[in-house]
């Protein structure tokens, strides 16, 4: 496994692979790798010839009062996990390498970025789309892999790729969960034992929403109210949102939408946890 810390070095490594006729798979991460990341890497390993993982804690997607300084850092462990997963190259640049002095270009995807998480984290998705655009331009992957847990991010990146004519295919992969249903996340490390048990309520709430929809309930307010009750009854928390939206437009869901995205963001202790599932509406066209 090669480790590149500069743009010149990662481009050199990828260039050699492409000259050899290999397809390049890419997984972008903030570091603090967990089972969800490893599932993306595993799929990239199966489907492409040369796998690149970026490890870059991107400061532009953290607001001034958010957890950039506290975010888990485990570089040696991350590199060991990548090597064990047979990653070909890790791109681990410095902030200065990615954002040299005077950097002022921002990539924004209007519309989708203002909904759900975007309503509570202004500037977050501009930071995400900017760094992902830079990483795509630097690495030049054929295929990039993202997790369904970050469904809104996936939609935004797909739109960016389409509208900016980027030559990369985006493949979304299933959310990886703990035994009790909690979606794997680096921020789960913020939870103490009691909060960790409480956090299982998020998946139970999503499953309750799914159950109601599959039984014929297509009033989104009733669905989300039932989900909220489960979350609030589980213990102290702060709900950023519990929503039922169209799975593609993220507009409020209606009975005419074929697929609903049930999505939530909840703060438990120091952790802001997100999750979602897609539910097909019975009888929808």
- Pair (192, 232) in one structural domain: yes
- Pair (78, 155) in one structural domain: yes
pLDDT digits (tens, 9 = 90+) for 44-93: 999 999 999 999 999 999 988 899 999 999 999 999 999 999 999 999 99
Percentage of the chain lying above the pLDDT 70 cut: 99
Percentage of the chain lying above the pLDDT 90 cut: 96
Greater model confidence, 42 or 283? 42
- Domain closes at, from 141, 173, 205: 173
pLDDT digits (tens, 9 = 90+) for 137-151: 999 999 999 999 999
Give residues with Cβ within 8 angstroms of 184, minimum separation 6: 34, 35, 36, 149, 175, 176, 177, 178
- Pair (133, 272) in one structural domain: no
Catalytic residue set = 37
**Residue 285: is its pLDDT beyond 70?**
no
Distances in whole angstroms, Cα of residue 230 to Cα of each of 95, 111, 137, 149:
41, 30, 43, 20
- Sheet with 259-268: strands ordered across: 238-246, 259-268, 271-280
Q: Does residue 93 form part of some domain?
A: yes
pLDDT digits (tens, 9 = 90+) for 175-214: 999 999 999 999 999 999 999 999 999 999 999 999 999 9
- Pair (110, 246) in one structural domain: no
Number of domains in the chain: 2
- Domain closes at, from 117, 146, 173: 173
- Pair (40, 151) in one structural domain: yes
Q: Does residue 112 form part of some domain?
A: yes
| Residue 135 region by backbone torsions, left for phi larger than 0, else alpha for psi between -120 and 50, else beta | alpha
Q: What is the pTM of this model?
A: 0.95
Quote the domain boundaries for residue 247: 186-280
Once rounded to an integer, what is the mean pLDDT over residues 159-184?
A: 98
> What is the reported pLDDT for 82?
98
Q: What is the CATH number of the domain that holds 209?
A: 3.30.1300.10
Q: Does residue 181 form part of some domain?
A: no
- Domain closes at, from 173, 204, 239: 173
């Amino acid at each position: 496994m090669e480790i590149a810390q500069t743009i010149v070095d990662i481009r050199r490594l990828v260039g050699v692979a492409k000259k050899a006729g290999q397809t390049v798979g890419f997984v972008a991460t903030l570091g603090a790798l967990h089972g969800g990341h490893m599932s993306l890497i595993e799929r990239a390993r199966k489907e492409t010839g040369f796998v690149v993982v970026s490890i870059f804690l991107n400061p532009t997607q953290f607001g001034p009062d958010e957890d950039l300084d506290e975010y888990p850092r485990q570089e040696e462990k991350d590199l060991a996990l990548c090597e064990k997963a047979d990653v070909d190259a890790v791109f681990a640049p410095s902030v200065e390498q990615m954002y040299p002095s005077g950097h002022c270009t921002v990539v924004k995807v209007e519309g989708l970025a203002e909904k759900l998480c975007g309503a509570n984290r202004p500037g977050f998705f501009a930071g995400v789309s900017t760094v992902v655009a830079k990483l795509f331009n630097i690495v030049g992957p054929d295929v990039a892999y993202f997790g369904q847990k970050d469904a809104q991010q996936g939609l935004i990146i797909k739109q960016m790729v389409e509208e900016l004519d980027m030559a990369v295919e985006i493949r979304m992969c299933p959310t990886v969960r703990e035994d009790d249903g909690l979606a794997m996340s680096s921020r789960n490390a913020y939870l103490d034992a009691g909060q960790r048990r409480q956090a299982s309520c998020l998946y139970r709430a999503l499953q309750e929403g799914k159950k109601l929809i599959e039984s014929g309930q297509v009033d989104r307010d009733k669905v989300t109210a039932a989900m909220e009750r489960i979350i609030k009854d589980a213990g102290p928390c702060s709900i950023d949102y519990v929503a039922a939206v169209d799975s593609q437009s993220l507009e409020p869901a209606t009975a005419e939408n074929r697929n609903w995205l049930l999505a939530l963001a909840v703060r438990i202790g120091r952790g802001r946890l997100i999750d979602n599932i897609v539910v097909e509406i019975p009888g929808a066209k």
